[in-house]
Amino acid sequence: MFKKILIANRGEIAVRIIRACRELGVSTVAVYSDADRRSLHVALADEAYHIGGSAPGESYLKKENIIDAALKSGAEAIHPGFGFLSENEAFAEMCEKAGIVFIGPSPEAIRLMGDKITARKIAFDAKVPLVPGSEGAVSDVEASVVANGIGYPLMIKASAGGGGKGMRLVRSKDDFESALRMARSEARSAFGDDSVYVERFVEQPRHIEIQLIADSYGNTLHLFERECSIQRRHQKVIEEAPSGFISAKTRKKMGEVAIKIAKAVKYSGAGTIEFIMDQKQNFYFLEMNTRVQVEHPVTEMITGFDIVKWMIRIAAGEKLPFKQGDIEMNGHAVECRVYAENPATNFMPSPGTIEYLSTPSGPGIRDDSAIYNGCEITSFYDPMLSKLIVWADTREAAIDKMASALREYIVLGVKTNIGFLRRVMADEEFRKCKIDTGYIERHPELINPEARDMKPALIAAAIAMENSTGSGPQSQTAAASNWKLFARRSGVTRSPLA
C-alpha cells in the first residue's frame, strides 16, 4: 500500500478521497488554488500545497504544478477524482514519467475511451448495440448528409468531451445548421476541439449506466446499474440504484456488455459504461467515463463495496478477491446533488457565503460534502455543494427518506435547489418511476411552484429562537435578526415568529 497520496482535486470528492486514505492508513496531500485556501479538503489533509490562481486553468488544470507538488511532498501516487484532469491522457503519462502512480486506468485506455468516436468504434467491433449515426467526426456537409439519412429528431455531440457541452437536440431540418454552429462553438470553447458527430435521438430516453471495477490481472466485475435520467442541461441531478425500470434479464445483459467493452481496452480501476435506453428496454452504448463518477455513492450503498478504496488498492497492485457472483444488491439508494443555484432562473449558479448550514443525519443517510458555516461558494467552480444519499429497503421507502432528509437540509446565504429536489420527491410520476431525460422540461411546475413550502421558514425560526438566550431585548433582537437574514435569502415575507 502507498504511504502518501496526493489528491489532484477539490471539494467533496477531495474530502471523500482523503477519508478513504485515512481509513487505509495513507497520508494525504491536498492542492489548492487562491480561492480554496480555506477549503475543507485543505484543512483535512496532512499536507497542502498551493498550485496557482483561482481559475481552474491557473491551478487544478496546471499539470506541471500538480506534478511538482507531488514530487515535493514525496507522494507516491495521485488520485485525480472526477473532472479537471481525471480523464486527461497527457496527465496520466506525465505521472508515469515522473515515477508517480496515476490512480486510474492506463493512458492508452483513457485515450481510446476518452474520444467518443473511437469509443463508438470499439463498441461496434465488440458487437455492442449503438445508436445509429455517423461513424466518426463529420464535416458540415457530411453531418447534413448523415442527418438526412437517419432522420429527425437527432443529436449533435462534441467528440472530445461530455457533461452536456457541445450537445444539441435538433427536431427539424430547419434548425440543423444553426444547432451545428452552436455545438461546434461550444465544443471549441470547452475542449479546444470543435469536432462533432451526429446520432439519432432516442425518444423519451432513460440514462442507465453500469459501474465497473477491474484489477490489473484481468478480473473485471460490474456492480450493477444506476438510473441517472433526472437531468438539467444534460447534467445529472438525481441518481438511484438500482433502476426501478429494468428487468433482471436486462440488468444481466447490460453488465455483460459493459464488461466486454472494458476488457477490449484492458481497463483497470473504476469506470462506468453509460447507455441510453428506450421505453422497451432496448439499450445503446453512449460513452465510457474512465474515472470515479459523482454518483458512485448509490452503488456503494446497495453493494457495500467501497469504490474509492478499491481504486487505491488496485493501483497499489492488489488483486480483486471477489467473483461476479459474490456481488449482491441490497435495498435501494437515492442521491440528490445539492447545488448553489436558482432553479427559477434556468438553474443559474448562486455564488456567495454560506451564513448558516444544518444537514440531515440518521440511519441510512449520508452527506458527502465540503461545505461549512462561513465558507465561500465562488463562481470559479461547479456550484455543487454536496451529495445527499439515502438508503432503505425499497425504492418507495428510499424516496420517503430522501424527502424527509431534504426537509432537514437548511442552507442560508446562497440560493439552492433543495426546494426543487423536495418537489421531485413528492411528484407522482417520479414516485412511479415514469421518468426519462426530459422529465424536468416536462414539469415546469416543479421549478416554479405557485406556493412556497413554509417548513424551512418554520425551522429557521426555531433555530433563531434556540440560538437566542434569555428573554431580554437583546435576545429578541438576535432572533429577529436571524429571521430577517433567512427572509432576505429565501423570499419568505411573513415571519412565523410574529
Report the chain's C-alpha Rg in angstroms. 23
Looking at 151-247, list the stretches that DSSP marks H as alpha helix, in order from N- to C-terminal side: 176-191
Using DSSP's 3-state secondary structure scheme, residue 114 falls into helix
144/260 same-domain check: no
Summary count for the chain: helices (H), strands (E): 18, 22
291/407 same-domain check: yes
Contact 291, 271 (CB under 8 A): yes
Residue 255 lies in a domain: yes
> Residue 193 is part of which domain span?
132-200
> What is the dihedral angle through the alpha carbons of 54, 56, 57, 60, rounded to the nearest 10 degrees?
100
Contact 497, 457 (CB under 8 A): no
Residue 121 lies in a domain: no
Name the nearest CA neighbour of 343 among 473, 476, 212, 452.
Answer: 452
Contact 336, 384 (CB under 8 A): no
225/276 same-domain check: yes
C-alpha cell at 17: 478521497
Name the nearest CA neighbour of 34 among 378, 385, 341, 414.
Answer: 378
Contact 295, 9 (CB under 8 A): no
Q: Is the peptide bond before 496 cis (omega within 30 degrees of 0)?
A: no
Q: How confident is the model at residue 450, as a pLDDT? A: 58
Quote the CA–CA distance of 154 and 279 in Å, as a whole number. Answer: 17
Q: How confident is the model at residue 476, as a pLDDT? A: 41
What's the average pLDDT block by block, 10 residues per block, for the chain (498 residues)? Answer: 98 98 98 97 98 96 98 98 96 98 98 88 91 88 94 91 82 95 90 90 94 97 98 93 97 97 97 95 94 98 98 98 96 98 94 97 97 96 97 98 98 97 97 96 86 53 53 43 50 39
Last residue of a domain, one of 200, 231, 256: 200
334/212 same-domain check: yes
92/140 same-domain check: no
Name the nearest CA neighbour of 133 among 65, 198, 53, 201.
Answer: 198
Q: What is the total count of domains within the chain?
A: 4
DSSP 340: S
DSSP 268: -
Please count the other Cβ atoms lying within 10 Å of the Cβ belonging to residue 153: 14
194/210 same-domain check: no
CATH number at residue 154: 3.30.1490.20
C-alpha cell at 130: 449503438
Q: How confident is the model at residue 191, as a pLDDT? A: 82
Contact 50, 406 (CB under 8 A): no
136/223 same-domain check: no
Residue 109 lies in a domain: no
274/363 same-domain check: yes
Residue 125 lies in a domain: no
69/136 same-domain check: no
Give per-residue burial for 171-196: e unless 16+ CB within 10 Å, then b: eeeeebeebbeebbebbeebbebbbb
Please count the other Cβ atoms lying within 10 Å of the Cβ belonging to residue 170: 21
Contact 291, 307 (CB under 8 A): no
Residue 338 lies in a domain: yes
230/376 same-domain check: yes
Per annotation, catalytic residue among 232, 291, 337, 366: 291
Name the nearest CA neighbour of 283 among 273, 270, 297.
Answer: 273
For residue 311, the one-letter residue type is M
Last residue of a domain, one of 146, 173, 200: 200
Contact 405, 421 (CB under 8 A): no
Residue 495 lies in a domain: no
Q: Is 291 a catalytic residue?
A: yes
CATH number at residue 371: 3.30.470.20
DSSP 374: T
373/286 same-domain check: yes
Q: What is the largest CA-CA distance in the chain?
A: 78
Quote the CA–CA distance of 246 and 456 in Å, as a whole number. Answer: 36
362/237 same-domain check: yes
**Residue 27, H or E segment:** strand 27-33
Quote the CA–CA distance of 54 and 71 in Å, as a whole number. Answer: 22
User: What predicted TM-score, i.e. pTM, was given to this entire model?
Assistant: 0.85
Q: How confident is the model at residue 398, as a pLDDT? A: 98
- 86 Cβ contact partners less than 8 Å away, ≥ 6 residues apart: 9, 80, 104, 290, 291, 292
Q: How confident is the model at residue 262, as a pLDDT? A: 97
Using DSSP's 3-state secondary structure scheme, residue 401 falls into helix
Using DSSP's 3-state secondary structure scheme, residue 26 falls into coil
**Sign of CA pseudo-dihedral 494, 495, 497, 498:** negative
DSSP 318: P
CATH number at residue 9: 3.40.50.20
Environment class of 129 (CB within 10 Å of its CB; exposed 0-12, middle 13-18, buried 19+) = middle
Residue 115 lies in a domain: no
Residue 11 lies in a domain: yes
Q: How confident is the model at residue 330, as a pLDDT? A: 98
